[in-house]
Amino acid sequence: ITITDAEGKTAAAAEKKAVKGEQEIPLSIDKPNLWWPAGYGKAYLYSLKVEVVQNGKTVQELQQKIGIRTVELVKKDPAGKQTFYFKVNGRKVLIHGENHIPLDYIKCYATDAEYDRIFKLLENPNVNLIRIWGGGVVEEDSYYERCDEMGILIWHDMFLHSNTYPDYDPEFSANFMAEVEGIIRKVRPHVCFALICGGNEQQEGWDEWGWKGNLDRFYGDKFFNELTPPLAAKLCPDLPYIPNPPSGGPAQAGEFLSIHIKAHIFLEGLGPGITFVGLAGFGNEEGVRGAIVKITPVVTFTDCRRLAVHAAVGGVGNIGKIRTEFGRQRG
């Protein structure tokens, strides 16, 4: 195993006799260059090379970029008050975020040119976190590699979305947990991976959407409250986990103060009006409804997303739902 820095110099190296199954080989880098999210420093990446050598000949090889960082989700301030923010390498980070949904719901994945355009849009507002939304798909390796390079943290939902699920069905449960393990194993080599989330809007549905009046119990909460947390802790012990967003709002008993923000644009004369509903804590999802007439608003859609982000401690908009550039709506 060899780790080289950005200048091609060896930062660490080790070798060990291979055995069947998983094997740990400790490595240490003296005074490492840390990976930072956008706006806080360089997203420094090392090159990792792993070779399996038999009789003096390389029979298998792996090469990938890696980074060094710590990430923490703070849920209580020093006074014990409920809060919700990220610290990277011990430093509090103001999140400028976006939600990501599939750019094409038919084929799931977009073209390289479409991905290039989306990541270009993320540069100007200094986006440093993307939430892979729980109604979407696991992205391709190249997507996470781009996030590594650009200093964009990944909040990754597991794919339970706004509904109840048959946690009483052994076959469904086994299939879902195999999917969860596959997602975590796929994404965990990437330094951008910052948070594992058990699903999307199940807790809100149970607390606020009237499900209690139609069901004898909360079907599906077992997945994100009981089964996924220990698996996430086993596979990624250094990453924070939350069961479900939004959670911790006025009608909810959860300990996590993450919310969904509703934002609307409307026209008053020739200018836009902006209404934000429920601003508090950390806004992890927010939608902007576009103007219904062909008038370019004075405040662009992108500006409105940024207003929503900065109005809360942190926040995320919908880059997949709102494809905008220079105030013009596309897609």
Mean pLDDT score of the chain, rounded to an integer? 79
The percent of residues above 90 in pLDDT, for the chain, comes to: 52
Tell how strand 82-88 and strand 46-54 pair up. Answer: unpaired
Surface-to-core class of residue 294, CB atoms within 10 Å of its CB (0-12 exposed, 13-18 middle, 19+ buried) = exposed
The model's pTM is 0.80
**Residue boundaries of the structural domains of the chain:** 2-66, 70-331
Amino acid at 54: Q
pLDDT of residue 244: 87
User: What tens-digit pLDDT sequence spans the chain (331 residues)?
Assistant: 999 999 999 999 999 888 888 888 899 999 999 999 999 999 999 999 999 999 889 999 999 999 999 999 988 888 888 788 899 999 999 988 888 988 887 777 788 898 999 999 898 888 999 999 998 889 999 999 999 999 999 999 999 999 999 999 999 999 999 999 999 999 999 999 999 999 998 988 888 888 999 999 999 999 999 999 999 999 999 999 999 887 754 444 455 556 665 443 333 333 344 444 444 467 777 655 444 444 333 333 333 333 333 222 333 443 333 333 223 322 2
Distance CA 319, CA 299 (A): 17
pLDDT of residue 257: 58
Distance CA 138, CA 144 (A): 10
In CATH, the architecture of 70-331 is Alpha-Beta Barrel (3.20)
pLDDT of residue 91: 95
pLDDT of residue 185: 96
Surface-to-core class of residue 112, CB atoms within 10 Å of its CB (0-12 exposed, 13-18 middle, 19+ buried) = exposed
- Angle at which helices 228-235 and 170-187 pack, to 10 degrees? 30
pLDDT of residue 260: 60
